[in-house]
Amino acid sequence: DQQVKQNSPSLSVQEGRISILNCDYTNSMFDYFLWYKKYPAEGPTFLISISSIKDKNEDGRFTVFLNKSAKHLSLHIVPSQPGDSAVYFCAASYTGKLIFGQGTTLQVKP
Partner 1 sequence: DGGITQSPKYLFRKEGQNVTLSCEQNLNHDAMYWYRQDPGQGLRLIYYSQIVNDFQKGDIAEGYSVSREKKESFPLTVTSAQKNPTAFYLCASTHRGEFYNEQFFGPGTRLTVL
Question: Is residue 102 within the footprint of partner 1 (CB under 8 A)?
Answer: yes
Distances (CA, A) of 103 to 15, 16, 25, 53, 60: 21, 22, 13, 24, 22
Q: Which is nearer to partner 1, 43 or 110 (CB)?
A: 43
Beta-strand relationship, 45-51 and 32-38: antiparallel
Question: Is residue 73 within the footprint of partner 1 (CB under 8 A)?
Answer: no
Q: Which is nearer to partner 1, 62 or 100 (CB)?
A: 100
Question: Is residue 43 within the footprint of partner 1 (CB under 8 A)?
Answer: yes
How far is the C-alpha of 40 from the C-alpha of 43, rounded, in Å? 8
Q: Which is nearer to partner 1, 70 or 97 (CB)?
A: 97
- Which residue from 82, 106, 94 is spatially nearest to 34, judged by alpha carbons? 94
Question: Is residue 28 within the footprint of partner 1 (CB under 8 A)?
Answer: no
Chain contacts with partner 1 (rule: CB under 8 A):
4, 6, 9, 32, 34, 36, 41-46, 49, 89, 91, 93, 96-103
